[in-house]
C-alpha cells in the first residue's frame, strides 16, 4: 500500500501543534500541571521537530531510494539520492500548486515526478521540452530533427546484449545503456511534446517504463531535480557503500 507521506506529515504537524497549544492553555488556566496537561505537553513536544522536517522535506530537499533499474547506468537499484525541491519553484505539499516560480526543467536534467497514470514517484531524464519533436529510431534519439551523437564506451559485462554509451544530449553528456538490437521501446517512436509537458525517458533505454509508454508529464506533476547520490544500500544484509557518492550527471 502506498502512503501519502506529505499528507501524513501535515496531519502530524497539525495535531502536535494543537496539543502543544492545549497544554499551554491548560497550565495557564489551572496554574498547575496534571496528567492531562503532561500528556498534551508530551505530544506537543514533537511539534518543533515535525515542523522542521515538514519545511525541509516539502520546500527544500528530500531523500529517495532508487527502486528499479530504469536509470542504469546513471543510478542503480539501492542508490540513495537527494532531490532539490525548490529548483523548479516552490509548491504547496499535497496539492503541488506552485506559488513561487524559480526556473523550468532543462533538457538532460534527472527529475523526480509522478506520471500521468500513477501517484507514485518516478525518476527519469528530461529528454523533451514543451513543443519539442522527439523521435527515436533504432535506439537513436532525434530532437527537433537533429540526430543526437553517441560515443560507444563498452559492453555491459553482465549481459553482452547491452552496450554502455555516452549520449551527447545538446550540451549534456551522460551515460545510457541500450540493447544492440533495439527492443519495442527503441524501434520507432515519434511525439510532439504538448505545451506544459515534459518527455521523460530512462537511461536504461530498453528497460524503462517512461513517456514512451504513458505519455508526456504535466508540469504540475513535477516533484524536484535529483542532484546527488549520497549512498548505496540495496538491502539490510549489505553494508552501506559511500564510494560512488557525488553529483548526478
Whether 124 sits among the annotated catalytic residues: the reply is yes
In the set 70, 87, 208, 211, the catalytic residue is: 70
3-state secondary structure the chain: CCCCHHHHHHHHHHHHHHHHHHHHHHHHHHCCCCHHHHHHHHHHCCHHHHHHHHHHHHHHEEEEECCCCCCCCCCCCCEEEEEECCCCCEECCCCCCEEECCCCCCCCCEEEECCCCCCCCEEEEEEECCCCEEEEECCEEEECCEECEEEEEEECCCCCCEEEEEEEECCEEEEEEEECCCCHHHHEEEEECCCCEEEEECCECCCCCCHHHHCCEEHHHEEEEEEEEEEECCCCCCCCECCCCEECC
Catalytic residue among 37, 124, 208, 225: 124
23 is catalytic: no
Catalytic residues: 70, 124
Amino acid at each position: 500500500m502506498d502512503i501519502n507521506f506529505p499528507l501524513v506529515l501535515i496531519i502530524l504537524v497539525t495535531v502536535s501543534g494543537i496539543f502543544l497549544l492545549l497544554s499551554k492553555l491548560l497550565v495557564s488556566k489551572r496554574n498547575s500541571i496534571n496528567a492531562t496537561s503532561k500528556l498534551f505537553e508530551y505530544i506537543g513536544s514533537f511539534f518543533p521537530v515535525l515542523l522542521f522536517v515538514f519545511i525541509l522535506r516539502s520546500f527544500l530537499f528530500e531523500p529517495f531510494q532508487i527502486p528499479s533499474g530504469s536509470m542504469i547506468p546513471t543510478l542503480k537499484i539501492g542508490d540513495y539520492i537527494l532531490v532539490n525541491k525548490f529548483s523548479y519553484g516552490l509548491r504547496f505539499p499535497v496539492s503541488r500548486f506552485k506559488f513561487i516560480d524559480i526556473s523550468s526543467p532543462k533538457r538532460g536534467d534527472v527529475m523526480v515526478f509522478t506520471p500521468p497514470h500513477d501517484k507514485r514517484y518516478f525518476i527519469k531524464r528530461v529528454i523533451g521540452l514543451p513543443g519539442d519533436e522527439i523521435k527515436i529510431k533504432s535506439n537513436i534519439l532525434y530532437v527537433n530533427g537533429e540526430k543526437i551523437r553517441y560515443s560507444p564506451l563498452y559492453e555491459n559485462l553482465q549481459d553482452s546484449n547491452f552496450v554502455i554509451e555516452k549520449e551527447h544530449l545538446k550540451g549534456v553528456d551522460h551515460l545510457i545503456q541500450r540493447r544492440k538490437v533495439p527492443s519495442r521501446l527503441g524501434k520507432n517512436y515519434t511525439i510532439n511534446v504538448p505545451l506544459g509537458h515534459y518527455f521523460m525517458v530512462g537511461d536504461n533505454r530498453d528497460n524503462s517504463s517512461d513517456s514512451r509508454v504513458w505519455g508526456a508529464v504535466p508540469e504540475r506533476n513535477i516533484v524536484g531535480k535529483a542532484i546527488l547520490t549520497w549512498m548505496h544500500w540495496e538491502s539490510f544484509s549489505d553494508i552501506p557503500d559511500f564510494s560512488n557518492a557525488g553529483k548526478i550527471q
